[in-house]
Amino acid sequence: MGIGYKTSWLAVRDAGPEEVADALGLRHRRAMGWQDGTEAAYRQGVFVARPVAAWTIAHGRVHLPAGTDATEPGFPDWLRSLGARLGDLQFFTTERVSEFHAWARVDAGELTRAYCCVGMHDDIPLRLGEPTDVERELGVGLRRMEERRQDWQEADWDAWYEATPGEDDVMDIARRWGVCPLDIPDGSVVLPGVHGFPPGIEPADART
């Protein structure tokens, strides 16, 4: 199965799966292969593995991150705390039903960019740092939520929706920043990873 759409993941440069699992505080750990682990993490928990050289991926549709998401005030601090331990990392989430899309990057432990758009509500709940070159080329992540939308004309709304990201934009940003899960061939990952649950989440509590 692997990692596709409608989920969230971290890509961490030059850190092993156990190191990333420790930083996430994962408990109830089990060794799992790539296909089984990524599939399990669509249902519950977080799966951490190193599918390509230089990048470890932590994947979890429900529990990454646990207890917050990119729309909430604690999300940037969660990324900063991970960056303090792990250095360079990137976060992505994409959900086509609600058009909930987010991306962020930490460079040398510093949160340099974070953006979240909820297209269903025409809302930008998170915007930190300046758009990267990739975002500018794709034409997404460029707009703020203006305060006087009631004054917008049709051209203003057209420009807004043209700059609203979709799930393929998230994948393109991931690819250009470092690694896109869609580009990992099925069966290419031979080393097992680890599946576990973040603090406050027990397997019996996890939604399946």
At residue 11's C-alpha, the angle toward residues 88 and 82, to 5°, is 50
Mean pLDDT confidence for 24-45 = 96
Point out the least confidently predicted range of 44-48, 79-83, 161-165, 174-178.
161-165
Q: Is pLDDT above 90 for 159?
A: no
Contact 195, 30 (CB under 8 A): yes
Contact 103, 90 (CB under 8 A): yes
Contact call for residues 164 and 3 (beta carbons, < 8 A): no
pLDDT of residue 121: 67
List all residues 6 or more positions away from 168 whose beta carbon is below 8 Å from its beta carbon: none
Using a cut of 0.95, tell me whether the model's pTM lies above it. Answer: no
State residue 148's pLDDT score: 54
pLDDT for 96: 87
Percent of the chain with pLDDT over 70: 93
Average pLDDT of span 57-84: 94
Helices marked H in 44-123: 75-86
Residue 208 has pLDDT above 50, yes or no: no
pLDDT tens, 128-152?
Answer: 999 999 999 999 988 765 545 667 7
What's the mean per-residue pLDDT of the chain?
Answer: 91
